[in-house]
Chain A
Amino acid sequence: MTLDFTPILPFMIVAGAALALLVLDLFWPVRLKWLTPLLAAASLLAALVVELGQANYLRAGLSNMVIIDNFSVFANAIFICSGIAAIALAYDYIQRTGINHGEYYVLMLFSISGMLLMSTAADLIIVFLALELLSVPLYVLTGFARPRLDSEEAALKYFLLGAFSSGVLLYGIALLYGATSYTSLHGILSAVSRGTADMPLVVVGAAFLLVGVAFKGGVVPFHMWAPDVYQGAPTSVTGFMSVGAKAAGFVALLRIFVVAFPPVAVELTSVMNFLASLTMLIGNIAAIGQRNIKRMLAYSGIAQAGYMLMAFVPFGNKAIINDSVASMIFYLAVYAIASFGAWAVVVAVEQAEGRGLDIDDYAGLGRRYPLLGVAMLIFMLSFIGLPPTLGFWGKFYLFRSVIEGNYIVLALVGMLASLISAYYYLRVVVMMFLHDGANITVRRNWLLSGLVGVSALAVLLLGLMPGPLFQMAADALLRL
């Protein structure tokens, strides 16, 4: 047994920084409090550099519990960048809402370290560990605006449902262990292909895993927590959660199912097909009726999860799985960029005591703040998937891989759902430009403006030349 932490070095950096900041933040005086977010961002940047240095570096580590491949590098780059964006989102917001405690950044770092571990997990034990490590800090962050009641309520709901879904996931792992006597993804695969596994149990275990992970990703019918939790949580946490937790759920789903479960694809493909259709339709239809922008974006996030799940349906088809994985994680990156932009706008518009969160409050904002309005237009167009934004290419590759897999009906449902979504996404923009409204003053802060600007530019410029980013996603192969 040797100790070699290099495969999980980015994880060690982020988790170590979280531990150090937890203690440091207690001891340094109030006038040095600004150091905490700065050091948190610095540690994330360091982790990003190390992570990118691990590109094209295929290896397993820690007694084959973790595995490094380009897939994990790409996914971890998304997680780390979303962490940096989340710090920019939170810096001003938690100061003006009076919840400026250093623990905010520490909990966020812990959550990100869980995500970093998740994408490298080659063993179901690590998957479970990573899932808990990323979830538990999110439960606390959701309730961070204590004693605000809706924040506490959201935290409790999230905690109870999250604990329940973790239980389901653990039950699935136990069943798989019982059926194959392995917890490692490769062990399960080899036991199944040797024929020594108890197949009905493997299918049930895989289905339980699917449920547990689908909960994290907000897939219908395991989505009911999302709108309430997104609405109750501090907006900066919601932005982080809607990208980070969702992405982590899908990354885990990809890794587990593509590596270990192609043999049970026959049984599970129709289930996935059904879940994807249901998620796209219910997410988009429910979003239409929302008056609150946080709830609307929550349902929009559910619908986006449906699109991502759509590319995942042919996971047992060896011929096109690489295309599917590439289009799915490309879409994750696309969703992350546009999502952080949109949440930054929401944070900037939000007023004291939770006012300014209704879609009606956005009336007239586009005329008084043209740049903000145009940025929101870009994000919404990207969510719908219209050219020339990045969202178009995201959907383009998704639908292409679905059609390659011969799921024409599913692709048609996806198109229909996208059409429905245009209504509620554009309603925000119409409200901003074509209506007169009360005089809401938008918060001006260079971090928020920077986040909105960078996201909007990224969505536009990468939309004009999506090639390099897609190439990176296409190179992000899972090591099987």
Chain B
Amino acid sequence: MVNEFLPIGVLIILAVALAIVVPTLGYLFGPRRYVPAKSRPYESGMTPFGPGTRRVSVRYYMIAVLFILFDVEVVFFLPWAVVFKELGVPALIEMGLFALVVVVGLVYAWKKGALEWE
């Protein structure tokens, strides 16, 4: 019981230790040069513009939902593909039904305009 989980325990300890040791080394030995650019908010490397509290369009969330949908679908496809040869044709039909359900969802979302940006 203990032996089975020992590698995971070692991994956790190593991860925590690494997270503590590496920044500490950087803190102790790294040079410190303060320039104005370093204290600016980080915006994906661009020069920041506008106030930080402005409203952001949540339009993207619809795309995100659809992405999750198909992401999860692929998760289900993977184990099926691994044992596909043993399961054979019935599994193919069942997977087809599953894919059909998801595709109907996509058709619905498409027709309803969830994929239109404007």
A49 within 8 A of B: no
B107 to chain A, nearest CB (A): 6
Q: Which of A1-57 contact B (CB under 8 A)?
A: 1-3, 19, 22-23, 26-27
- Alpha-carbon gap, A20 to B79, bound state (A): 28
User: For this complex, into which size category does the number of interface residues on chain B fall?
Assistant: 10 to 19
Q: Which of B97-118 contact A (CB under 8 A)?
A: 100-101, 104, 107-108, 111-112
B84 to chain A, nearest CB (A): 12
Bitwise, B33-44 to A at CB < 8 A (1) or not (0) is 000000000000
Q: Could you say which of A2, A19, A27 contacts B101, with CB atoms under 8 Å apart?
A: A19
Closest residue of chain A to B105 (Cβ to Cβ) is A22
Whether the pair A3, B94 counts as a contact (CB closer than 8 A) is: yes
Whether the pair B104, A1 counts as a contact (CB closer than 8 A) is: no
- Alpha-carbon gap, A23 to B100, bound state (A): 12
B90 within 8 A of A: yes
> B-side interface residues toward A, CB under 8 Å?
87-88, 90-91, 93-94, 100-101, 104, 107-108, 111-112
B101 proximity list for chain A (CB < 8 A)? 19
Q: Could you say which of B87, B94, B104 contacts A23, with CB atoms under 8 Å apart?
A: B104
Closest residue of chain B to A4 (Cβ to Cβ) is B90
Whether the pair B107, A1 counts as a contact (CB closer than 8 A) is: no
21 A-B pairs with CB atoms under 8 Å apart are: A1-B87, A1-B88, A1-B90, A1-B91, A2-B90, A3-B90, A3-B93, A3-B94, A19-B100, A19-B101, A19-B104, A22-B104, A22-B108, A23-B104, A23-B107, A23-B108, A26-B107, A26-B108, A26-B111, A26-B112, A27-B111
Closest residue of chain A to B91 (Cβ to Cβ) is A1
> A-side interface residues toward B, CB under 8 Å?
1-3, 19, 22-23, 26-27
A27 proximity list for chain B (CB < 8 A)? 111
A1 proximity list for chain B (CB < 8 A)? 87-88, 90-91
B91 proximity list for chain A (CB < 8 A)? 1
A2 proximity list for chain B (CB < 8 A)? 90
B108 proximity list for chain A (CB < 8 A)? 22-23, 26
A26 proximity list for chain B (CB < 8 A)? 107-108, 111-112
A-B contact sample (12 more), CB < 8 A, given A1-B90, A1-B91, A23-B107: A1-B87, A1-B88, A3-B90, A3-B93, A3-B94, A19-B101, A19-B104, A22-B108, A23-B104, A23-B108, A26-B108, A27-B111
A8 to chain B, nearest CB (A): 12
A27 to chain B, nearest CB (A): 8
Closest residue of chain B to A12 (Cβ to Cβ) is B97
- Alpha-carbon gap, A453 to B91, bound state (A): 48
B94 proximity list for chain A (CB < 8 A)? 3
The 9 closest A-B pairs by CB, nearest first: A3-B90, A26-B111, A19-B104, A1-B90, A22-B108, A23-B107, A23-B104, A3-B93, A22-B104
B87 proximity list for chain A (CB < 8 A)? 1
- Alpha-carbon gap, A3 to B91, bound state (A): 9
A3 proximity list for chain B (CB < 8 A)? 90, 93-94
- Alpha-carbon gap, A256 to B72, bound state (A): 29
Closest residue of chain A to B90 (Cβ to Cβ) is A3
- Alpha-carbon gap, A2 to B88, bound state (A): 10
